[in-house]
Amino acid sequence: MHSPDDQYAPIEDYAVIGDCASAALVGTDGAIDWLCWPRFDSPSIFAALLDAERGGRFQVRPTQDVSSVERRYMGDTNVLETTFTTETGVLRLTDLMPVGPPEAYRRELWPTHEILRRVECVEGTVPVQVACEPQVEYAQLDLSFEDRGAHGFFYNYDGAVLIARSEVPLTPSPGQNALYGEQTLRAGDRRFLSLTYDDEAPAVLPLLGDHAQRKLARTINYWRDWAGQCEYDGPYRDAVVRSALTLKLMTFAPSGAIVAAPTTSLPEAIGGERNWDYRYCWLRDAALTLRALYELGYEDEGRAFFSWLLHTTRPTAPELQVMYDVHGNTNLTERTLSHLEGYRQSPPVRVGNGAHDQLQLDTYGELISAAYEFVRREHELDPWHRRLLVSLGNEVCARWEEPDEGIWEVRSGRHHHTFSKAMCWVALERLLALHEEGYVTVPVDRYRTEAAHIRAAVEEQGYNEEKESYVATFGGDRLDASLLLLPTYGYKEATSPRMKSTFARIHEELAQNGLLHRYPPDTDDGFTSEEGAFGLCSFWDEEMFARLGRLDEAREKLGETIGYANDLGLFAEEIDPETGAFLGNFPQAFTHVGLINAAITITKAEEEAPTALHEQPDPQ
Amino acid sequence: MTSLLALNVGSALLWGLFATGLLTLLMSGSQGLGWSRISFPYMIGSMFTSHRGRAMGIGFLVHLAVGMSFALLYALVFESWQWATWWLGGLLGVFHGLFLLAVLMPALPDLHPRMASTHHGPTPTRQLEPPGFLALNYGRSTPVLTIVGHIVYGMLLGLFYPLGGGGLL
């Protein structure tokens, strides 16, 4: 009987590869333990991440014991290189999902999706073993390979086909549901393995050998060219470029959507019940994501993301959902896959997300702020975008007094969240600003009156005089890290007495080992288990230091938080402040958005006057 | 001997277009439902270009044209027998579908410039999965769906071609 610790690698041991429509997690043991095709939220092909026995994996590794493993992305790319050192030699494994510029797709046929693996012996002699064990549809379908000789092994299911081809000879298992191979490589030997996916049409057979080598080179060039467009040139360039590359991996290129993470149900507390499906797109961080993309110079991605935002929200407007799928669909019904035991035996494994129909009033402020950011950069707004934004503004006027579930999607009912109310104010102020600039036409008097009422309510009920701090809910006394964003969205000057004291209280009550919890661990959020520190909040904290002009501390803190990244520069959603272990879904797009924005804010603050970030009059 | 002049070309082309459209709809529906991966537009279009999107567009147009041409053949048969009914069209569709599956599909790797040979591995210029016997490589339901699609094609022609007048009336 294996213990969970033997069977499951730490989350930080994973790397991510992808093709801007789907992604795979690769462990330090050469195993692809998570892959969903054809898109991020499709049922899994490999899910050993969530059930080591049943989930299925695709592993390439030395047969012998490995004395050390080193890995890196090849420069500024999403091509992963893992180097195993054994007693008899050194083996290098290169993993990628091939991508290329648009013209490459016109010149030759491409499989819809492909994982290409190159294994090469660098020194000595190394026996290699391969195990390819797909378990499609979250390991709910029991199918077998068909051996088609030189064309590879075919796995037909539900109108789709997986094709495995390999230069390491593979043999089907007795049940034909897995492929195994073993071969001894000598220094200079190189072998390619490919797994492809096609559906709804005859498949494109994967090529190995020199053609695969060219595909590898083309993929490296694609990522280098893309990373080379990054306009940030400050002291955190490496971390920022890695974050941008990770964000690009989580972009669903056909629609421009960005998923929160490519995984589901990696627990926020080991053994606990905080397991969620993050393979969807949240409106919550729209404005900050758009800002990150534009600040880095990725205007095409910014336009695509904004276009997705408004096209997606149009059918439900003026009501907004918390999240949508990559094509903007709203039906994300949550269900539990009870046949999977969960990462390190932490059930349940959930697909879909029950928070999709919650009310989060802050999303109005975030979406309208994104529109404001877009107009600042592009100086245009389509007529139907204008109508949509005004309908959202009217909805804010009608609903801001309602309680909501808040930014953290707690499952303990609705409350009057201070941050949600402040973001309603932001929504109306941004629309008034767009009105003054001639991009929309709003009922000015109504919006001004409502904005004043909202601000008065926040200042009277969302600020606890005794605690000298803004608080999570009206009339409450609990803190919330989201309040650090009030200056970012222009609600409050960072240097105002109320923000300064709030900042101090948040540090006193939410900080642990240089990281921040999003709210006090004993908060009733509908669950009994304790979660880790929230990576994103730590980056907000560093932005706040910069806005306060405390640049030395901002730099020190940012360096400290970046130090919690794994060896490849990747972040999960949460970090255990005691051990530094990752918790929650991985990698987390918005943690990387936070890193990018913190680095940009600090670098700008060093170059410019810090007050330039704030435009609103601040009476208190 | 039947005179070709008796052929109602307009009616054959019109209903050929309609029947091909319905055949395409049925086959696309079966792809979407995961019953088969056969795609006549993609297989035809990829003869002309490697660009997947363009291949679908070109293939769709060429498939329509081919479908309309075949309608002329069907009409010729109807005229030669001086008889056209839905079930006769359906019988012709069975023959049409079987010919496609048993004769054309196995020969396709030799005719298609981008299709991999059945006997050798893929090459940089020939990567498309060959259909195999009865196009079974594209899914076990493919032969049945292909024949059903062509039966419907033939039935429509048998039913509607005589309505256009010509030698049969």
> What sections of chain B are H helices per DSSP?
9-32, 40-45, 52-81, 86-99, 105-111, 142-160
Q: How many domains does chain B have?
A: 1
Q: Which A residues, 208 through 227, put their C-beta within 8 Å of a C-beta on chain B? A: 211
Instruction: Report residue A614's pLDDT band, with 50, 70 and 90 as the boundaries.
Output: very low
Q: Which of A63, A324, A30, A405 is nearest to A193 (CA)?
A: A30
Residues 6+ apart with CB under 8 A from B94: B147, B150, B151, B154
Is residue B130 situated within a structural domain? yes
Convert the pLDDT of each residue in A95-151 to its tens digit: 999 999 988 888 889 999 999 999 999 999 999 999 999 999 999 998 889 999 999
The one-character DSSP state at A370 is H
Sign of CA dihedral A98, A102, A105, A111: positive
Is residue B142 situated within a structural domain? yes
Contact B123 A161 (CB under 8 A): no
Can you tell me the distance from the alpha carbon of B64 to that of A504, in angstroms, rounded to the nearest whole number? Answer: 72
Q: How far is A156 from chain B (nearest CA, A)?
A: 7
Residues of chain B found within 8 Å of residue A107, distances taken between Cβ atoms: 50
Nearest to A158 among B34, B46, B119 (CB): B34
Q: Which B residues, 109 through 148, put their C-beta within 8 Å of a C-beta on chain A? A: 114, 116, 119-124, 127-131, 137-140
The residue-averaged pLDDT of A493-502 equals: 97
Q: How far is B109 from chain A (nearest CA, A)?
A: 13
Identity at B145, one-letter amino acid code: L
- pLDDT of res. B6: 74
Interface test with A, best of B28, B137, B145 (most A CBs within 10 A): B137
Residues 6+ apart with CB under 8 A from B4: B76
DSSP letters, A579-592, are T--EESSSS-HHHH
Nearest to B50 among A107, A154, A158 (CB): A107
Contact yes or no for A567/A71 (Cβ under 8 A) = yes
Is residue B46 situated within a structural domain? yes
Is residue B47 situated within a structural domain? yes
Instruction: Report residue B120's pLDDT band, with 50, 70 and 90 as the boundaries.
Output: confident
Q: Which helix (H) or strand (E) holds A600?
A: helix A589-607
Can you tell me the distance from the alpha carbon of A451 to that of A429, in angstroms, rounded to the nearest whole number? Answer: 7
The residue-averaged pLDDT of B153-160 equals: 96
Is residue B1 situated within a structural domain? no
- pLDDT of res. A160: 95
**CA atoms within 13 A of residue B45's CA, in its CB half-sphere:** 21
Q: Is A198 on the interface with B (CB under 8 A)?
A: yes
Mean residue pLDDT of chain B comes to 91
Residues of chain B found within 8 Å of residue A148, distances taken between Cβ atoms: 137
Residues 6+ apart with CB under 8 A from A521: A530, A531
Is residue B3 situated within a structural domain? no
- pLDDT of res. A269: 86
| Choice between A316 and A399, residue whose per-residue pLDDT is larger | A399
Contact B35 A159 (CB under 8 A): yes
Instruction: Report residue A609's pLDDT band, with 50, 70 and 90 as the boundaries.
Output: low
Nearest to A202 among B34, B51, B128 (CB): B128
Contact B42 A202 (CB under 8 A): yes
- pLDDT of res. A6: 80
Q: Is B39 on the interface with A (CB under 8 A)?
A: yes
Nearest to A204 among B127, B131, B138 (CB): B127
Contact B39 A159 (CB under 8 A): no
- Percent of chain A residues topping a pLDDT of 70: 97
Contact A205 B116 (CB under 8 A): yes
Mean residue pLDDT of chain A comes to 93
- pLDDT of res. A434: 97
The one-character DSSP state at A417 is B
Q: How far is B12 from chain A (nearest CA, A)?
A: 29
Can you tell me the distance from the alpha carbon of B101 to that of A382, in angstroms, rounded to the nearest whole number? Answer: 51
Can you tell me the distance from the alpha carbon of A367 to that of A119, in angstroms, rounded to the nearest whole number? Answer: 45
pLDDT at A618 over 70: no
Can you tell me the distance from the alpha carbon of A448 to that of A314, in angstroms, rounded to the nearest whole number? Answer: 25
pLDDT at B95 over 90: yes
pLDDT at A237 over 70: yes
The residue-averaged pLDDT of A7-17 equals: 97
The residue-averaged pLDDT of B124-134 equals: 93
- pLDDT of res. B167: 55
| Choice between A73 and A606, residue whose per-residue pLDDT is larger | A73
Contact yes or no for A479/A521 (Cβ under 8 A) = no
Residues of chain B found within 8 Å of residue A205, distances taken between Cβ atoms: 116, 121-122, 127-129
Interface test with B, best of A155, A156, A194 (most B CBs within 10 A): A156
Range of B46's domain? 9-160
Q: Which helix (H) or strand (E) holds A114?
A: strand A113-132
Interface test with A, best of B36, B48, B127 (most A CBs within 10 A): B127
Q: Is B52 on the interface with A (CB under 8 A)?
A: yes
Q: How far is A372 from chain B (nearest CA, A)?
A: 35
Contact A200 B37 (CB under 8 A): yes
Nearest to A205 among B36, B129, B131 (CB): B129
Contact A159 B37 (CB under 8 A): yes
Q: How far is B28 from chain A (nearest CA, A)?
A: 8
Convert the pLDDT of each residue in A41-55 to its tens digit: 999 999 999 999 999
The SS3 call for residue A384 is helix
Q: How far is B112 from chain A (nearest CA, A)?
A: 13
The residue-averaged pLDDT of A472-500 equals: 96
Chains A and B form CB pairs within 8 A to the count of 83
Nearest to B122 among A198, A202, A207 (CB): A207
- pLDDT of res. A617: 46
Q: How far is B100 from chain A (nearest CA, A)?
A: 16
Is residue B166 situated within a structural domain? no
Is residue B75 situated within a structural domain? yes
Q: How far is B136 from chain A (nearest CA, A)?
A: 11
Q: Is A202 on the interface with B (CB under 8 A)?
A: yes
Contact yes or no for A9/A26 (Cβ under 8 A) = no
The residue-averaged pLDDT of A279-288 equals: 90
Can you tell me the distance from the alpha carbon of A353 to that of A329, in angstroms, rounded to the nearest whole number? Answer: 13
Convert the pLDDT of each residue in A532-591 to its tens digit: 899 999 999 999 999 999 999 999 999 999 999 999 999 999 999 999 999 999 999 999
- pLDDT of res. A107: 86
Strands A80-86 and A66-73: what pairing? antiparallel
- pLDDT of res. A358: 87
Q: How many CB atoms within 10 Å of residue A336? A: 15
Contact B36 A159 (CB under 8 A): yes
The SS3 call for residue A492 is coil
B132: nearest CA in chain A? A148
pLDDT at A56 over 90: yes
DSSP letters, A1-50, are ---HHHHS--GGG-EEEE-SS-EEEE-TTSEEEEEESSSTTSPEEE-TTT
A212: nearest CA in chain B? B124
Residues of chain A found within 8 Å of residue B52, distances taken between Cβ atoms: 105, 109-110
Q: How far is A159 from chain B (nearest CA, A)?
A: 4
Identity at B164, one-letter amino acid code: G
Contact B128 A199 (CB under 8 A): no
Contact B37 A199 (CB under 8 A): yes
Contact B122 A158 (CB under 8 A): no
Contact B127 A160 (CB under 8 A): no
Bridge partners (DSSP) of residue A199 are A160
- pLDDT of res. B1: 41
Can you tell me the distance from the alpha carbon of A602 to that of A607, in angstroms, rounded to the nearest whole number? Answer: 9
Bridge partners (DSSP) of residue A415 are A404
Can you tell me the distance from the alpha carbon of B61 to that of A289, in angstroms, rounded to the nearest whole number? Answer: 42
ipTM more than 0.95?
no
Q: Hey, what are A193's tokens?
A: 């393995």
